[in-house]
Amino acid sequence: MSDSYAIGVDIGGTKMAFALMNRAGQVLESTQKPTHASRGAQAMIGDLADGINHLISLAPAQPMGIGIGIPGQVNPDTGLIKNAYNLGWQEVPLTEWLSPLLTSKLPIQVMKDADASLCGEYYYGAARGTQNCLYICIGSGLGGAILANDRLVSGFNGTAAGIGHIMLYPKGEKCVCGLIGCAETVVSGPGLVRVFKKLLAATGNPAPSADISSHFILDALGKGDPLAKQAFSSLARGLGRVISICISIVNPQSVVLGGGMARAAFDQLLPEALQEIKSHALVHTYQDLKILPSTLTSSAIGPASLVWYSGI
């Protein structure tokens, strides 16, 4: 039986996830490689090509193309990465450098990682059947993507839906981007840790012997720890504020929450986020809104589905 195949790669700060997927969204082969970003772009792209060539060799038929999701500012038309701070990349012509290293000349579509994730949700996940969706990824940062009338919105220079840097806290902390009080200073894994540590310091109690990570705090939340509850509540309310701003602008039918934090604590996040949305947005923007957890099982499914989306 004939089928179409696509290769997807999710490039993250610590690992690259590869998948060979068919049109039904089944992952036939998958693999991972450490990113080791400090080696520089050329070496990373060499590894990227090796991973892709391996999947090309395993595909039952020639794949239709390659989709790549990357944490940075991307020109989707040329595959030029303007900047990807996590990787230390600036002005890297990813498509141009990758193409000659591949064993088959396949079309390549590169997108910002959150756009790629939303594309995967649209084809195979929680956003199936919707034409207007907001995707929010809560992990080591706070990322977003917008689907409007069945199209991903990249914006003029690829920076649309940069929701992590909406200013929510005028007297807040300095963000990694250099601005003050960005949403991700609270609504992210590192944000949760920072808020928890601040609350802990204010109590004057000694710090726990274990490393304070977002996992540690989520664990403490499960045990009913009041400080963890308070820190988590700040995150949930901040998320609600971000959603209320975004839905007022793009009027989505659904909001899909992805990323490690949303995956680990969706049920705990939702009630307070909803409460905040109701106090900050007009009723017609949220009355029929669905807020759903991501349902994708591999971060490479989104990038692979870019191949179908782009029609390459």
Q: Which two tokens stand for residue 204?
A: 């004057």
Q: Order of strands, edge to edge, in the sheet holding 73-75?
A: 73-75, 80-84, 89-93
114 binds Zn ion (CB under 5 A): no
175 binds Zn ion (CB under 5 A): yes
179 binds Zn ion (CB under 5 A): yes
* Residue 52 vs 182, nearer CB to Zn ion: 182
Size of the site for Zn ion (CB under 5 A): 5
264 binds Zn ion (CB under 5 A): no
* Residue 165 vs 237, nearer CB to Zn ion: 165
CB of 179 to Zn ion, least distance (A): 5
167 binds Zn ion (CB under 5 A): no
Q: Which residue has the tokens 């601040």?
A: 198
Site stretch for Zn ion (CB under 5 A), options 160-168, 198-206, 262-270, 297-305 = 160-168
What gap in Å lies between CA 20 and CA 181, rounded to an integer?
40
CB of 121 to Zn ion, least distance (A): 25
Choose which of 48, 143, 165, 298 interacts with Zn ion (CB under 5 A): 165
| Of the candidates 158, 114, 130, the residue with the CA atom closest to the CA atom of residue 251 | 130
CB of 53 to Zn ion, least distance (A): 37
Q: Which residue has the tokens 């929010």?
A: 136
Helix residue ranges per DSSP H, 68-210: 94-98, 113-124, 189-203
* Residue 176 vs 312, nearer CB to Zn ion: 176
What gap in Å lies between CA 48 and CA 35, rounded to an integer?
9
CB of 178 to Zn ion, least distance (A): 7
Site stretch for Zn ion (CB under 5 A), options 27-35, 60-68, 171-179, 267-275 = 171-179
177 binds Zn ion (CB under 5 A): yes
118 binds Zn ion (CB under 5 A): no
Chain positions contacting Zn ion, by CB under 5 A: 165, 175, 177, 179, 182
